[in-house]
Amino acid sequence: MVVETDFLVIGSGMAGLSCALKLARQGTVGVVTKKEKAESNTNYAQGGIAAVIDPADSFTKHVQDTLDAGDGLCHREAVELIVREGPGRVKELAEIGVDFTRKENGHLDLGREGGHHINRIVHVKDHTGRDVENALLEAVKNEPRITIYENHSAIDLITEHHLFTSLEATDQLHCWGAYVLDDQTARVKRFIARATILASGGCGQVYLHSTNPSIATGDGIAMAYRAGGRIANMEFMQFHPTSLYHSEANSFLISEAVRGFGGRLVTQDGQSFMEKYHPMASLAPRDIVARAIDTELKKSGAPCVFLDITHKNAEEIKNRFPHIYQNCLNYKIDITQEPIPVVPAAHYICGGVQTDLDAATSLSGLFACGEVTCTGVHGANRLASNSLLEAVVFGHLAAESAMRFVANQGRKSPAIPPWDDSGTFNSEEWVLLSHDRMEIKNIMWDYVGIVRSNLRLERALNRLRLIGQEVENFYRRTRVTTELIELRNLATVAMLIVRSALLRKESRGLHYTTDYPRRDDEHFQSDTVLEKQVI
């Protein structure tokens, strides 16, 4: 089956949906999403959107806070771009129905999080992502040119290597859409588009403990790499310092806004410890807080530290953090009366598919926005609440660029062959491969976590190579399923993270290695770029 559309958007989070709404001005849009349309990292985002709203704030201050958090690796022009565009994009979200929290005087209630020197987080209490996602879905529902394909899993981008076309080393690769599995019919469809936008989110599920939903398996990053796209800075995985430590909580995120509200990180005996690690104490950037917690846990042998907000007014806590309050209460933790047990968990990948300031990738006709990308904004560590800001700004830029591309190119795609699954079969040995997913997650957590070493990374690389070969062999002789697609992508992304980490022989931001504990600007103040040769 063939689905033809002017624009194909892969992913239905904030970046993808905001992009799709703008693309619909110029043509038809197909949005492919592997699960329910509201399931995304956006939906899990509690904190908010960083933007310069307060007259006491300035673009210069927001830029500087972002550069400081990025530890010397941010691209200043990219940072200046999203900061400058931020207020306008926030205004657009309000216009489509996002009811941002306001004070009694009607002004926006601006929160503060780690790394920010001023209150600038626009939010909807502690469920900003959910409200933004719902508003975008409602707007999309009212746009007849947009079709959302739920339960559709993208397998691979369609490029020259599917056409068996020979390429010279100087030729640019092109993207004409994607092969996509319809989970309900088990058929692979050809989605052919004049421009394709990757907005498939991150890869937190490559780690054992993650705040991400189960769908965050790095699909877009893996597909772009296999197609020959440039991937950058995969060594910079951000571990959120505070996920709920509870056997049944599944790494539930405790927003950084809790610390911005006055929460203090303390040990089991109630001693505050962040003052030892950074002048901003509990409001230090995430990489510093996560490493500090990791150090405290290793020193004490304790399973967790605690986030204490009991000194604040109980009603104010409930009003500001209703989602967190109720979820903790479900696990018999009253955050107004007792500190919250917390541990770090994999949260956000600062690397991804490399784009320019127009959201264009190294493949002609392929654009990208959101967590799947490396735009240069986050550098070696993302500043809190810059993720939703980047998503909505680059979602806008991707739409503008894709529309220009289609208007200027006017190209027609070549004849795209149907998906070939001849010689494959439904394997009854899937149970043998299902263990590989858990093995990948354990390897990454044990050897490629908050603190790394050459020995750990080399051990991880050796094991991941074997798993990757096993998965690829299985993939080539078995009919595709969503589980197999995700496993293949997880294996690819895990390898990219480890290879990138081994190339960076220094400690910077989120990448800390005991073999090279200092930052080395002379040799490593540049992006780590990986590119698969597909010629």
pTM of the model: 0.92
Among the listed residues 89, 194, 230, 286, the single catalytic one is: 286
Tell me what percent of the residues of the chain surpass a pLDDT of 70. Answer: 94
Joined together, the tokens standing for residue 318 give: 């409930």
Q: Looking at domain 243-344, which CATH architecture does it have? A: Alpha-Beta Complex (3.90)
Task: Give the separation between CA 56 and CA 189, rounded to whole angstroms.
Answer: 53
- Per-residue pLDDT at 310 exceeds 70: yes
Q: What is the pLDDT of residue 40?
A: 54
Q: Is the sign of the CA dihedral 150, 154, 157, 161 positive or negative? A: negative
Q: What is the pLDDT of residue 287?
A: 86
- Per-residue pLDDT at 233 exceeds 90: yes
3-class DSSP assignment, residue 62: helix
- Per-residue pLDDT at 490 exceeds 90: yes
Task: Give the separation between CA 199 and CA 221, rounded to whole angstroms.
Answer: 10
Q: What is the pLDDT of residue 449?
A: 94
Under 8 Å CB-to-CB from 210, ≥6 apart: which residues? 204, 216, 251, 345, 346, 347
Q: Are 457 and 501 in contact (CB under 8 A)?
A: yes
Task: Give the separation between CA 211 and CA 440, rounded to whole angstroms.
Answer: 17
Q: What is the pLDDT of residue 430?
A: 66
Q: Tell me: the pLDDT tens digits for 370-425?
A: 999 999 999 999 998 999 999 999 999 999 999 999 999 766 778 888 998 877 77
Q: What is the pLDDT of residue 427?
A: 67
The single-letter code of the amino acid at 333 is I
Q: Tell me: the pLDDT tens digits for 80-103?
A: 999 999 999 999 999 999 999 999
- The residue that leads in pLDDT, 533 or 145, is 145
- Per-residue pLDDT at 205 exceeds 80: yes
- The residue that leads in pLDDT, 13 or 428, is 13
Lowest-pLDDT choice from 74-88, 423-437, 487-501: 423-437
Q: What is the pLDDT of residue 251?
A: 82
- Per-residue pLDDT at 504 exceeds 90: yes
Residue 230 falls in the annotated catalytic set? no
Task: Give mean pLDDT, residues 507-519.
Answer: 96
User: Which of 210, 102, 267, 281 lies closest to 440 in space, CA to CA?
Assistant: 210
Q: Tell me: the pLDDT tens digits for 20-46?
A: 999 999 999 999 999 775 555 555 556
Tell me what percent of the residues of the chain surpass a pLDDT of 90. Answer: 80
Q: Tell me: the pLDDT tens digits for 131-190?
A: 999 999 999 999 999 999 999 999 999 998 877 666 555 578 999 999 999 999 999 999
Task: Give mean pLDDT, residues 318-342.
Answer: 95
Task: Give mean pLDDT, residues 253-267.
Answer: 92
Residue with tokens 């052919």: 192
Instruction: Output the average pLDDT for the chain.
Output: 92
Q: CATH classification of 2-236+350-409, choosing from 1.10.10.10, 3.50.50.60, 3.55.50.30, 3.90.870.10?
A: 3.50.50.60
* Residue 70 DSSP symbol: T
Task: Give the separation between CA 66 and CA 105, rounded to whole angstroms.
Answer: 30
Q: Looking at domain 430-519, which CATH architecture does it have? A: Up-down Bundle (1.20)
